[in-house]
């Protein structure tokens, strides 16, 4: 039972204060098997759904978590998911509501009756095609949280004219912020931040040669940007970028 459901029952007089307190305590964490203590109330507190980071977990452990959380919450997302994770999840809970975005390496299981929608609109740009998997991770998370996402891929500084058309679309659609994903030298976020009047979230990727390998070159470029309005997340962290963008969009919409 969600925090909202408990409060609604309390307000309607269906439960007393002591029962509500007990239910809220029960809902705080859930022990799954002998391997995971899961935070069941993160979305109620922060607006960001809990996401399972699959790397380092066996498919069995991933599916254990998915099965338990979906049975109670109706929705869960799995990042950095493998084909084996997908197969085990399907084996355990079937195909209903299961979407596997292979490019983003994300599995989304959503069986909620009331899904968040129309919380705002964001843009997602990539410098190159190799940056698309991280961009798709960000886009998936934002969409889970109810955002509309406008995408513009492979528009980096090697052919800077390419960024103009998707940016025009994003500006005309009144996006709340723009996520810009770039590897190599990581220059594109600074360019975009100088052209739009909304926050820009830079995501450095581990795409590059030599000193730039692993994303360090892109990260330092973004952190040294002279363009105001640009903030930067960690290397390859599409999840955090998507979640933050969705929160910005939601807050902007609620203030209108």
Amino acid 214: pLDDT: 87
Amino acid 67: pLDDT: 87
Does one domain contain both 99 and 163? Answer: no
Amino acid 212: pLDDT: 74
Does one domain contain both 7 and 38? Answer: yes
Instruction: Report the pLDDT averaged over residues 18-42.
Output: 61
pLDDT tens digits for range 99-139: 999 999 999 998 878 777 788 999 999 999 999 999 999 99
Does one domain contain both 191 and 220? Answer: yes
Q: Which residues of 185-213 are buried (b: 16+ CB within 10 A; e: fewer)?
A: bbbbbbbbbeebebbbbbbbbbbbeeebe
Amino acid 223: pLDDT: 93
In a domain, 100, yes or no: yes
225: CATH: 3.40.50.1970
Average pLDDT in the chain = 85
pLDDT confidence bin for 149, thresholds 50/70/90 = very high
Amino acid 124: pLDDT: 96
Give the count of domains, the chain: 2
pLDDT confidence bin for 42, thresholds 50/70/90 = low
Does one domain contain both 129 and 241? Answer: yes
Does one domain contain both 65 and 124? Answer: no
Instruction: Among 110, 144, 163, identify where a domain stops.
Output: 110
User: Residue 36 pLDDT > 60, yes or no?
Assistant: no
Amino acid 160: pLDDT: 81
Q: Which domain, by its residues, includes 160?
A: 120-255
pLDDT tens digits for range 168-226: 999 999 999 999 999 888 899 999 998 898 999 999 999 888 777 789 989 999 999 88
In a domain, 115, yes or no: no
- pTM: predicted TM-score of the whole model, two decimal places: 0.79
């Amino acid at each position: 039972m969600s925090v909202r459901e408990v409060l609604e029952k309390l307000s309607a007089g269906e439960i007393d204060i002591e029962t509500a307190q007990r239910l809220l305590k029960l809902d705080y964490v859930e022990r799954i098997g002998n391997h995971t203590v899961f935070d069941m109330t993160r979305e109620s507190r922060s607006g960001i759904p809990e996401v399972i980071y699959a790397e380092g977990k066996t498919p069995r452990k991933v599916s254990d978590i998915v099965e338990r959380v979906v049975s109670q919450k109706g929705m869960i997302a799995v990042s950095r998911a493998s084909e084996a994770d997908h197969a085990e999840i399907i084996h355990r809970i079937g195909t209903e509501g299961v979407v596997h975005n292979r490019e983003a390496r994300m599995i989304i299981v959503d069986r909620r009756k009331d899904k968040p929608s129309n919380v705002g609109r964001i843009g997602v740009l990539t410098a190159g095609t190799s940056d698309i998997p991280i961009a798709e991770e960000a886009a998936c998370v934002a969409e889970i949280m109810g955002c509309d996402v406008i995408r513009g891929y492979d528009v980096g500084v090697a052919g800077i004219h390419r960024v103009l058309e998707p940016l025009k679309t994003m500006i005309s659609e009144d996006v709340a912020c723009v996520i810009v994903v770039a590897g190599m030298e990581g220059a594109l976020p600074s360019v975009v931040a100088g052209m739009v009047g909304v926050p820009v979230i830079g995501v450095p990727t581990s795409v590059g040669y030599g000193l730039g390998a692993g994303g360090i070159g892109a990260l330092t470029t973004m952190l040294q940007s002279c363009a105001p309005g640009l903030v930067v997340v960690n290397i390859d962290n599409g999840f955090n970028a998507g979640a933050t963008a969705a929160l910005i969009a939601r807050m902007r919409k609620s203030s209108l």
